[in-house]
A and B are shown apart, each in its own frame.
Chain A
Amino acid sequence: MTDAAIWQALGQALSWPSLLASFVGVLLGLVVGALPGLTISLGMVLVLPLTFGLPPVVAMSLMLGLFAAGMTGGSYSAILINIPGTPSASATAIDGYRMARRGEAGKALGVSVISSVYGGIFSLVCLVLSAPLIARVALQFGAAEQFALLTLGLTLIAAFAGSSLVKGLIAGVLGLLLTTVGQDPMVGTPRFTFGRVELQAGLHFIPALIGLFAIPQVIEGLRGGAGAVIPRFTVGLTSLLPSWRELGALNRSMVIGSAVGTGVGAIPGTGGPIAVFLAYDLARRVSRAPQAFGRGSAEGVAAPEAANNGVTGGALIPMLTLGIPGDPISAILLGVLIVQGLAPGPLLFKEHPDFVYGVFWALLLANVMTLVVALLSVRFIVQVLRLPTSALLPAIAVLCVVGAYGLRNTLFDSAVMLGFGAVGYLLNRYGFPVVPMIIGLVLGGDLEEQFRLALTLSGGDPTVFLRQPIAAGFLLLTFAALVWPILRRAPTQSTR
């Protein structure tokens, strides 16, 4: 990676199209994040078709803007109506709503925005410092190590995505099984294509993403008629900006939140909802006024908000360096890269350093843009909380269908998207998590290729995965990830 690449990337990130994309992304993110019932993943999936024709850095500016601002927007409804706009804003509601009830809604929103940006920039610094090092190490991996690493990533996600390890694993394996549709990655012969030309290249995971995320929500919304109406907020907004002195007092909570968010975000299968409660608890433990937590403490807003935006940079670490998306949002970002013809993983750092730096700059821009746009527009954006979410369902349905079509100009992809939507709905109804299935769909092709490559190179010797120390280490961790939830549950059950 050279200095020239850094400055070239800065030029791309500061071009008018990138700035405009970032602005639009931030605005959409704040709205999507603020509306309970609309998740950041859903917002990103709906915006995905817009990126098909955009240059890579512009496309990432749009998506990262939505990602970072969505995390911030989630706090709006948490603070004003005690309903988190996104699961990652759950902990913010505890103290944010009490501050609002006390007449400090403006200050709570201001603390939320500033802490979010603090966490976002902290995680960006961690990403910039660690990603090139991890990528350099990962470049040394052979087929056995890559297979073991991908297996570990998928297992972690399956193990932690839902309440049941077995259900998570079933969803993950179903995703892997669906990636076997199409040409054999080693010899190119067609498998499970039923003679259809459209299936020769396999099931594209973008229609799958759209279907699994958005269609169950459309079905739930439309079958329920008018749907739930969000309670109106009645609190007034006073001054948004806390004083320098107040900010200084929040510094410790923001650092804790940022560090927890970045660290948790970098672990596949975890993400914002876990990070915010860990950060909240840790901030309470080290606070000089722990008794104020739960009663409207600004520190109780700062820590989780710094944490959920800390996740943004953290989640990009395994996605960019290893090609492993740790959560649904990074799976969507990975989809953007694939549509752009870029393969995430260590080679990305070697072959497209200008793009990697472009992503870094775009994330910085997204955070700065969030600070400015959120503080200037908060009074207007909170008005969307007066909208019933069901009013957006027709638009979501149309965007899903035509968005899937726009990928390859074929309604076959729209039909595939609907098929995955039906599967997603069934999985939801039966309590299976959809995230492992998505990650299985993303990683399946690589997983099979590396597995068969390792076996072919070793002359069919299956001990190749245990003879390589790094591969064996990853597989040991995979085993631990499988066994740990069982061991953790065992004493609980025996005492019941």
Chain B
Amino acid sequence: MSARVGAALAVLAVAGTWAWLARGLPVLAPEGPGSAFVPLLLCGLLALLALALLIQSKPAGDDFAHAQSPGWAQAAGVLALLSLYVAALAHLGYFLATLPFVGITTWLCGARSPLFILGAAVGLTFGVWLVLTVLFAVPLPRSPWL
């Protein structure tokens, strides 16, 4: 299955799922369109556009070429790391979650000196806290047990 067909089917699936989710909402109300009117209209439009994507001729310099390049597994890994960080923020709070996260990401960026990684983790963690919370009063997640 080509990337173009895959993308078109994914868009069709989104439109179908959204329309299915809207099934309990009124399409029309006594005073005019109901809650489901616009979502269903958009689902119809999306389905038409997905079909257009499916049937349109391949343009010069196909812009789906990038989809076939490698790196999906690494991208999923980075996203998982970011999700873990968000989960850790909820359970450990800002400082305990951010110190190891910055350490790991600095290592992923190519740094290998333990001293540099430690310095980056401590400096960045406290630097962001200083700027956001101390200077600009933007709150950061707190540890539930500290």
Measured between alpha carbons, how far is A222 from B102 in the docked complex, in Å? 12
Residues A46-81 near B (CB distance < 8 A):
49-50, 52-54
Say whether A166 contacts B53, CB under 8 Å.
Answer: yes
Q: Which one of B46, B105, B128 lies within 8 Å of A222 (CB-CB)?
A: B105
Measured between alpha carbons, how far is A452 from B36 in the docked complex, in Å? 11
* Closest residue of B by beta carbon distance from A431: B63
Which residues on the B side are within 8 Å of A390 (C-beta)?
109-110
Closest approach, in angstroms, between the C-beta of A18 and any C-beta of chain B? 15
B3 adjacent to chain A (CB < 8 Å): yes
Say whether B67 contacts A394, CB under 8 Å.
Answer: no
Closest approach, in angstroms, between the C-beta of B91 and any C-beta of chain A? 10
Say whether A429 contacts B66, CB under 8 Å.
Answer: yes
Say whether B82 contacts A452, CB under 8 Å.
Answer: no
Q: Which one of B52, B85, B109 lies within 8 Å of A391 (CB-CB)?
A: B109
Given contacts A177-B43, A394-B124, contact A223 B29 (CB under 8 A): no
Say whether B79 contacts A225, CB under 8 Å.
Answer: no
Residues A194-220 near B (CB distance < 8 A):
215, 218-220
Given contacts A170-B49, A191-B35, contact A415 B86 (CB under 8 A): yes
Q: Which one of B98, B109, B132, B141 lies within 8 Å of A50 (CB-CB)?
A: B132
Given contacts A180-B42, A222-B108, A452-B32, contact A215 B75 (CB under 8 A): no
A-contact 0/1 string along B54-87, CB 8 Å cutoff: 0011011101111101010011011101110110
Of listed A221, A223, A496, residue having the most chain B CB within 10 A: A223
B-contact 0/1 string along A450-468, CB 8 Å cutoff: 0110011001100000000
Q: Which one of B11, B32, B42, B75 lies within 8 Å of A176 (CB-CB)?
A: B42
A473 adjacent to chain B (CB < 8 Å): no
Which residues on the A side are within 8 Å of B49 (C-beta)?
166, 169-170, 173
Q: How many residues of A are in contact with the other chain, CB < 8 A?
A: 70
Given contacts A219-B78, A405-B140, A421-B79, contact A177 B46 (CB under 8 A): yes
Measured between alpha carbons, how far is A496 from B59 in the docked complex, in Å? 11
Say whether B140 contacts A402, CB under 8 Å.
Answer: yes
Say whether A221 contacts B14, CB under 8 Å.
Answer: no
Which residues on the A side are within 8 Å of B36 (C-beta)?
191
Q: Which one of A222, A388, A398, A406 lies within 8 Å of B78 (CB-CB)?
A: A222
Which residues on the B side are within 8 Å of A221 (C-beta)?
109
Which residues on the B side are within 8 Å of A52 (C-beta)?
136, 138
Given contacts A167-B53, A399-B128, A455-B32, contact A405 B82 (CB under 8 A): no
Closest approach, in angstroms, between the C-beta of A46 and any C-beta of chain B? 11
Which residues on the A side are within 8 Å of B85 (C-beta)?
397, 401
Q: Which one of A177, A397, A422, A430 lies within 8 Å of B39 (CB-CB)?
A: A177
Residues A150-206 near B (CB distance < 8 A):
162-164, 166-167, 169-170, 173-174, 176-177, 180, 184, 186-187, 189, 191-192
Given contacts A164-B63, A430-B67, contact A418 B79 (CB under 8 A): yes
Say whether A227 contacts B74, CB under 8 Å.
Answer: no
Q: Which one of B3, B57, B69, B128 lies within 8 Å of A402 (CB-CB)?
A: B128
Say whether A452 contacts B102, CB under 8 Å.
Answer: no
Which residues on the B side are within 8 Å of A130 (C-beta)?
none
Say whether B89 contacts A180, CB under 8 Å.
Answer: no
Which residues on the B side are within 8 Å of A430 (C-beta)?
3, 7, 64, 66-67
B134 adjacent to chain A (CB < 8 Å): no
Which residues on the A side are within 8 Å of B66 (C-beta)?
428-431
Q: Which one of B32, B38, B64, B65 lies within 8 Å of A460 (CB-CB)?
A: B32
Which residues on the A side are within 8 Å of B60 (C-beta)?
496
Which residues on the A side are within 8 Å of B67 (C-beta)?
429-431
Closest approach, in angstroms, between the C-beta of A443 and any C-beta of chain B? 13
Given contacts A49-B138, A50-B136, contact A414 B79 (CB under 8 A): no
Q: Which one of A164, A395, A406 lies within 8 Å of B140 (CB-CB)?
A: A406
A128 adjacent to chain B (CB < 8 Å): no
Measured between alpha carbons, how far is A219 from B79 in the docked complex, in Å? 7
Of listed B3, B21, B31, B71, residue having the most chain A CB within 10 A: B31
B33 adjacent to chain A (CB < 8 Å): yes
Given contacts A222-B108, A406-B138, A455-B33, contact A421 B82 (CB under 8 A): yes
Measured between alpha carbons, how far is A448 from B22 in the docked complex, in Å? 16
Residues B79-131 near A (CB distance < 8 A):
79, 81-83, 85-86, 89-90, 94, 98, 101-102, 105-106, 108-110, 120, 124-125, 128, 131
Having A50-B136, A173-B49, A429-B69, one finds 15 other A-B pairs with CB under 8 Å, namely A163-B63, A167-B63, A173-B45, A177-B42, A187-B35, A191-B36, A394-B120, A402-B94, A411-B141, A430-B3, A431-B64, A432-B7, A452-B33, A456-B32, A459-B32
B interface, CB within 8 angstroms of A: 3, 7, 11, 14, 18, 21-22, 25, 29, 31-33, 35-39, 42-43, 45-46, 49-50, 52-53, 56-57, 59-61, 63-67, 69, 71, 74-75, 77-79, 81-83, 85-86, 89-90, 94, 98, 101-102, 105-106, 108-110, 120, 124-125, 128, 131-132, 136-141
A-B CB contact pairs (8 Å), 13 listed: A164-B59, A177-B18, A180-B38, A222-B109, A393-B109, A394-B105, A394-B109, A401-B86, A402-B141, A418-B79, A430-B64, A452-B37, A460-B32
Closest 4 pairs (CB-CB, A-B): A226-B110, A456-B32, A431-B63, A223-B74
